[in-house]
Amino acid sequence: MEALRYAEAIKQIRQRGQAIKLIVQELRDVDAIVDKHKSDRSRLIQILLDVQKKYGWLPKLALIWISERLNVSMAQIYSIATFYKAFSLIPRGRHTIRVCMGTSCKVRGAPELLNNLQRILGIEPGQTTPDGKFTLTTVNCLGCCAISPVLTIDGEYYGHLKLTDVKKILAKYN
């Protein structure tokens, strides 16, 4: 009995060790990004973009570290992180769907498409499905209006969309 508790405790300590290792690794990654931008404060947005790209969102720990390294206040970092659309302060799903709501896409049926997606996924733009699979977002133009309506999943483009294509495309992801 005693031995079991002992083993359990060891396991927990190891897990914490693991967690710390992960955190250290994460901070090293953030360090590398900050170094890449030569700790230049004017490149704060560029640094955040790289972090966002690496993790899919902006983990708080990373932000604290950046604030330390660049000597900028957390308030400034948060004001940027909340102003620009590219950033997310909460983890995103495994796949990010971006539906174009630009004018060309709009006149060719993007609103109906978005509606359909919302219904199928059961979430609104900005939200993530409960199983953590998809995050649904909208964007104002993806710059390929000639093949509208358009959406991207994890950066892959789907153009000339019809309402009924949505289900098939979603099925490709797991």
Partner 1 sequence: MKPIRSPEDLERLRKEILAKREPSKPCITVCVSTGCVAQGSIKLVEAFKAELEKQGLTDRVEVKETGCVGFCEQGPRVTIYPQEIYYFKVKPEDVPEIVSKTVLKNEIVERLLYKDPITGKTAQILEEIPFYKYQLRLLLENNAKINPKNIEDYIAIGGYSALAKALFKMTPEQIIEEVKKSNLRGRGGGGFPTGIKWETTRNAPGEPKYVIVNCDQGDPGAFMDRTVMEGNPHSVLEGLIIGAYAIGAHRGFVYVREEYPIAAENISIAIEQAEEYGLLGGNILGSGFSFNVEVYRGAGAFVSGESSALMTAIEGKVGEPRPKYIHTAVKGLWDKPSCLNNTKTWATIPLIILKGAEWFRNIGTKGSSGTMIFSLVGKVNNTGLVEVPMGITLRDLIFKIGGGIRGGKKFKAVQTGGPSGGFIPEQYLDTPVDFDELTKLGSMMGSGGMIVMDEDACMVDMARYFIDFLLDESCGKCVPCREGLRAMSKILNDICEGKGKDGDIEKIEDLAEVMKEASLCALGRTAVNPVLTSLKYFRNEWEEHIKEKKCQAKACKALINYYIDPEKCQACMLCLRECPAGAVIGGKDQVHWIDQKKCVKCGTCYELCRFGAVVKLTGEPIPPPPMGVKPIRKKK
| Helical pair 60-70 and 2-36, crossing angle rounded to 10 deg | 50
The least distance separating ligand FES from the CB of residue 71, rounded to whole angstroms, comes to: 40
Q: Which stretch binds partner 1 (CB under 8 A): 12-20, 24-32, 128-136, 139-147?
A: 139-147
Which of 145, 153, 169, 170 touches ligand FES (CB under 6 A)? 145
Burial of 64 (0-12, 13-18, 19+ CB in 10 A): middle
Position 104 contacts ligand FES (CB under 6 A)? yes
Within a 10 A sphere around the Cβ of 146, how many other Cβ atoms? 9
Position 117 contacts ligand FES (CB under 6 A)? no
Q: Which stretch binds ligand FES (CB under 6 A): 30-38, 53-61, 65-73, 136-144?
A: 136-144
Strand extents, DSSP E, 70-142: 95-100, 134-139
Q: Which is nearer to ligand FES, 111 or 132 (CB)?
A: 111
What's the rounded Cα separation, in Å, for the pair 23 and 1?
A: 33
Q: Which stretch binds ligand FES (CB under 6 A): 3-11, 28-36, 103-111, 116-124?
A: 103-111
Which of 174, 85, 79 has its CA nearest to residue 126? 85
Q: Which residue type is seen at 88?
A: S
Q: Which is nearer to partner 1, 48 or 136 (CB)?
A: 48
Contact set for partner 1, span 9-68 (CB under 8 A): 41-46, 48-49
What's the rounded Cα separation, in Å, for the pair 121 and 95?
A: 12
Which of 34, 97, 100, 136 touches ligand FES (CB under 6 A)? 100
